[in-house]
Amino acid sequence: MSVLAVGLSHRSSPVALLERAALSGEERLKLMSEMAASPAVSEVLMVSTCNRTEVYAEVDRFHPALNTITSLLSERTGVSMGELTEHAYVHYEERAVQHLFSVACGLDSMVVGEGQILGQVRNALKDAQHGGTLGRVLNDLGQRALRVGKRAHTETHLDHAGADMVTLGLEVALERLRPGAAGAVAAAPASCPAGGAQADEADAALPEPQALTGVRVLVLGAGSMSALAANTVARQGATSVAVANRTAERAERLAECLTEAYEPMAGRAVPFAQAASAVADADLVVSCTGAQGLVLTAEDVRAALEAAPRRTRPLVLLDLALPRDVDEAVRDLPGAELVDIEDLRRAAARGAPGAEGGSGAVPVVRRIVEEEVAEYEAVRRADLVAPTVVALRTKANEVLEGELARLEGRLPDLGDREREEITRAMRRVVDKLMHQPTVRVKELAARPGGDAYGDALRELFGLDPGAPDAVRRPEPVAGEDA
C-alpha cells in the first residue's frame, strides 16, 4: 500500500477556484467516506484551510485511486475535471510524505512558517478519525507530521519574522488605513484564545507597540483565526474591539476576556444578526467565520458608509475566510478598501513584511523535513517486513510443536523433568536460529529497496505473511502534545 496526495493550494490555484473547492465539515466527512468506500482507497485524510484543500489517501494502485479521488472531488465541489487537471498537484509515496511534512512545518504556507497549520492538521486527523476513514497508515503519518512541525518550530526561528496569515493581513490592512505604516504589526500571543479563556496576566502585561491606536475594530467570528486577530488588534492599541459570532456565548466570552486582558480597551459582543449594522461603527472589519455564503454584502457596506459620512479614514475590510465572507463588489465602493486572500497572496509574492518567515531558517527546516522523511520511510519499510517475520516465527514454532508432539508419541514413558529439559532446549535452538535472520531482515528492510529481503524470506520458506494478524487499530489522535 502507498500514500497518494491530491490537492489545490494558493501556489497552484486562483483564489476563486480554492473558494469553490472549499467544503464544510459535514461535506468533507461525506466526501472522505465516499472515497474510503471505493475499492481503490483504504484510508482518507483531508487537510482543508483557507489556502488549501488536500486529500491524502492510502491506496493499492495509483491510477484507479487517482481517478476515484479526482472524480469524487469534482462531483462534490463542482470543480470540473478540466480545472482539476490544470491546477491540482499529485504526489505519490515518498513525495506525498515529504509534502505533508512540509505543509505541517509551514514551508508551503502563504506566510512561510505560520504556526496555525499544525492545529489544522491535528483537526484533520480528528475529523478523519471521527468519520471512520483513518487507519494505521495515515494515523501514523499524520502524527509524525505533527511531530515534524513541532520540531521545526522548536529547533529554528522559522516563525519569528511573520507568525501567520493574520499578521500579514493586518499589515496590509494597516497600510490601507494609514499608508506608510506597514511593518508595525506584530502577532500577539493568544491571551484570549478561541472561546475566550481567561487571559494570562503576565503575558497581557507585556508592553506592545500601539500601531492601531484610535482604530475601532469589528471581528466577525470567534474561532482560532478570529481570536488571534482580536488579540492582535487589541494588543496593538485598538480603541475598541466588537465581536460578532453565530454562537453568541462564544462572542461574549471572547469580548469579556479581551476587556480583562487589555484594559482600558473595550471589548463587546454584538448579536450576529446586527453585524452588518455594527460595520458603521468600525474603522477595520476582520472576518473569518467559516460561513458558506456571504456575511457582508456590498449593500451592507454601502449602508454602513452612508451611516458614517464624515469618516477621516477609509473603512477597511480584511476577509480571511474561504469561501469569502465579504462581497467582492465592495472594491467598487468609494470609501471602502477590501483586503482578501488574493491580496495577501500578492503581498506575500512581493515580500511584504511578515510574509517571508525566518528566511534563514528555511534551509534548516528543509533539512529537518528530509531527515524525517528518510526516517519515516525506513520505519515504514521495516514495518512492511514485520508480517513476514511474524510468519517465519509462527512457522518455526509450528515445526517445533509438531516435533514435540512426535517425541511424545515415540517416548510416552519419558519423565516430566526430562520432557521439560528437552522442550526448553529445542525452544532455545529455535530462538537462536531465528534471532539473527529476523533482526537482520528488519535492518536490511529499512534501507531503500529493502523490501526485496522480505520477498526472499517468503520465497525461501514458503511463508504466508497475511496469516498472522499484523494490523492494529489506529490510536486516538493526540492532543496538544501530539
In a domain, residue 482? The reply is: no
Q: pLDDT tier at 443 (50, 70, 90 boundaries)?
A: confident
CATH code assigned at 75: 3.30.460.30
Average pLDDT over residues 144-173: 82
% of the chain surpassing 70 pLDDT: 86
In a domain, residue 199? The reply is: yes
Mutual angle of helices 94-105 and 362-410, in 10-degree steps:
130
Q: pLDDT tier at 370 (50, 70, 90 boundaries)?
A: very high
In a domain, residue 474? The reply is: no
Residues involved in catalysis = 50
Q: 242 pLDDT exceeds 50?
A: yes
Q: 189 pLDDT exceeds 50?
A: yes
Beta strands in 37-178 (DSSP E): 41-49, 52-59, 89-92
Average pLDDT over residues 223-238: 89
Q: 163 pLDDT exceeds 60?
A: no
In a domain, residue 371? The reply is: no
Region for residue 66 given its phi and psi (left: phi exceeds 0; alpha: psi -120 to 50; beta: otherwise): alpha
Check whether residue 299 and residue 392 sit in a common domain: no
Which pLDDT score, from 0 to 100, does residue 465 have?
59
Check whether residue 267 and residue 142 sit in a common domain: no
User: In 3D, which of 387, 338, 315 has the Cα closest to residue 15?
Assistant: 338
Which pLDDT score, from 0 to 100, does residue 322 have?
84
Q: pLDDT tier at 319 (50, 70, 90 boundaries)?
A: very high
- Contact between 340 and 324 (Cβ < 8 Å): yes
Q: Among 188-202, 261-275, 353-367, 382-396, which is the least confidently predicted range?
A: 188-202
Rounded mean pLDDT of the chain?
84
Check whether residue 399 and residue 315 sit in a common domain: no
Which string of b and e fits 50-59 if b means at least 16 CB within 10 Å? bbbbbbbbbb
User: What letter would DSSP give residue 358?
Assistant: S
Which pLDDT score, from 0 to 100, does residue 191 have?
65
Which pLDDT score, from 0 to 100, does residue 56 have?
98
Q: Cell numbers at residue 349, please?
A: 509574492
Q: What is the tally of structural domains in the chain?
A: 3
Average pLDDT over residues 234-253: 93
Distance CA 4, CA 25 (A): 22
73 Cβ neighbours under 8 A, 6+ residues apart = 6, 21, 31, 55, 79, 84
Angle of CA points 326, 329, 335, to nearest 5°: 90
Check whether residue 305 and residue 452 sit in a common domain: no
Which pLDDT score, from 0 to 100, does residue 204 have?
34
pLDDT tens-digit series, residues 98-152: 999 999 998 988 877 777 889 899 999 999 999 999 999 999 999 999 999 999 9
Average pLDDT over residues 418-440: 88
Check whether residue 155 and residue 6 sit in a common domain: yes
The residue among 3 and 379 whose pLDDT is bigger is 3
The residue among 230 and 211 whose pLDDT is bigger is 230
Say which residue the cell 509438531 belongs to.
Answer: 402
- Select from 160, 176, 208 the last residue of a domain: 160
Distance CA 429, CA 147 (A): 42
In a domain, residue 213? The reply is: yes
Q: pLDDT tier at 186 (50, 70, 90 boundaries)?
A: low
Check whether residue 145 and residue 235 sit in a common domain: no
Check whether residue 155 and residue 192 sit in a common domain: no
- Select from 334, 349, 364 the last residue of a domain: 349
Which pLDDT score, from 0 to 100, does residue 480 have?
42
Average pLDDT over residues 68-76: 96
In a domain, residue 426? The reply is: yes
Check whether residue 88 and residue 237 sit in a common domain: no
Q: Cell numbers at residue 30, please?
A: 461525506
Average pLDDT over residues 36-59: 94
Cα distances from 326 to residues 51, 173, 331, 335, 442, in angstroms, run: 17, 15, 10, 15, 56
User: In 3D, which of 257, 216, 206, 260 has the Cα closest to residue 237?
Assistant: 216
CATH code assigned at 231: 3.40.50.720
Q: Cell numbers at residue 478, please?
A: 493526540
Check whether residue 228 and residue 345 sit in a common domain: yes
Distance CA 56, CA 58 (A): 7
In a domain, residue 364? The reply is: no
- Select from 322, 349, 376 the last residue of a domain: 349
Question: Which residues does residue 57 pair with via DSSP β-bridges, in sequence order?
Answer: 4, 44
Q: Among 253-257, 414-418, 456-460, which is the least confidently predicted range?
A: 456-460
Q: 400 pLDDT exceeds 70?
A: yes
Check whether residue 343 and residue 423 sit in a common domain: no
Q: 276 pLDDT exceeds 70?
A: yes
Check whether residue 276 and residue 392 sit in a common domain: no
Q: 408 pLDDT exceeds 80?
A: yes
In a domain, residue 340? The reply is: yes
Region for residue 449 given its phi and psi (left: phi exceeds 0; alpha: psi -120 to 50; beta: otherwise): left
Q: Is 271 helix (H, G, I), strand (E, B) or coil?
A: strand
Which pLDDT score, from 0 to 100, does residue 147 have?
96
Which pLDDT score, from 0 to 100, does residue 66 have?
97
Check whether residue 310 and residue 420 sit in a common domain: no
Q: Cell numbers at residue 72, please?
A: 469524487
- Contact between 54 and 7 (Cβ < 8 Å): yes
Which pLDDT score, from 0 to 100, does residue 206 have?
34
Cα distances from 377 to residues 372, 382, 446, in angstroms, run: 8, 9, 8
- Which residue range is the domain that position 452 belongs to? 384-461
Which pLDDT score, from 0 to 100, does residue 442 have?
75
pLDDT tens-digit series, residues 248-270: 999 999 999 999 888 888 899 99
